[in-house]
Copies of this chain bind each other. A is one copy, B any other.
């Protein structure tokens, strides 16, 4: 991404994604949802967020189509929160954050939780940015092309 671009929020997919997710609670709620948490009380226990904050973040994630409210799996009057397809598609974002954290935010010998494949219980590959031919790219080998309003 070597070219300097003027950022117009409406045209930058990163800006739109950050508008929805650029909040520590939102990202941690999504992480917890991937880990199987579905209930308000369990999100609250996991995150230690104040009730009103958690309520507003869950509502925003439902409004953004990332979570949906579903009947409680035990048939009780409670409801639960489940990832939608759009929410499940955030898996790459959460894994990218995890791998960056693993690589840079732990001291040598300091332990952290691990994400493993369910079949072999082995660590995953490091996420890579690949060109159309499958070659790994660094940021300096890419550039952002702004929207041309003249094109179709």
- Copies of this chain, count: 2
Q: Which of B12, B86, B115, B142 contacts A104 (CB 8 A)?
A: B86
Q: Which of B114, B122, B143, B145 contacts A132 (CB 8 A)?
A: B122
Task: Tell me, rounded to whole Å, the shortest Cβ–Cβ distance linking A119 to chain B.
Answer: 7
The answer to whether residues A93 and B89 also contact, given A2-B118, A111-B147, A122-B132 and a CB cut-off of 8 A, is no
**Count the A residues whose beta carbon is within 8 Å of the partner chain — how many?**
89
Q: Which of B7, B47, B142 contacts A32 (CB 8 A)?
A: B7
The answer to whether residues A141 and B112 also contact, given A101-B17, A125-B131, A127-B127 and a CB cut-off of 8 A, is no
A13 within 8 Å of B by Cβ? yes
Name the CB-closest residue of B to A109.
B152
Name the CB-closest residue of B to A24.
B22
A34 within 8 Å of B by Cβ? yes
Give residues in A with beta carbon < 8 Å to B. Answer: 1-7, 11-28, 31-32, 34-37, 46-47, 65, 86, 88-106, 111-125, 127-132, 134, 137-147, 149, 151
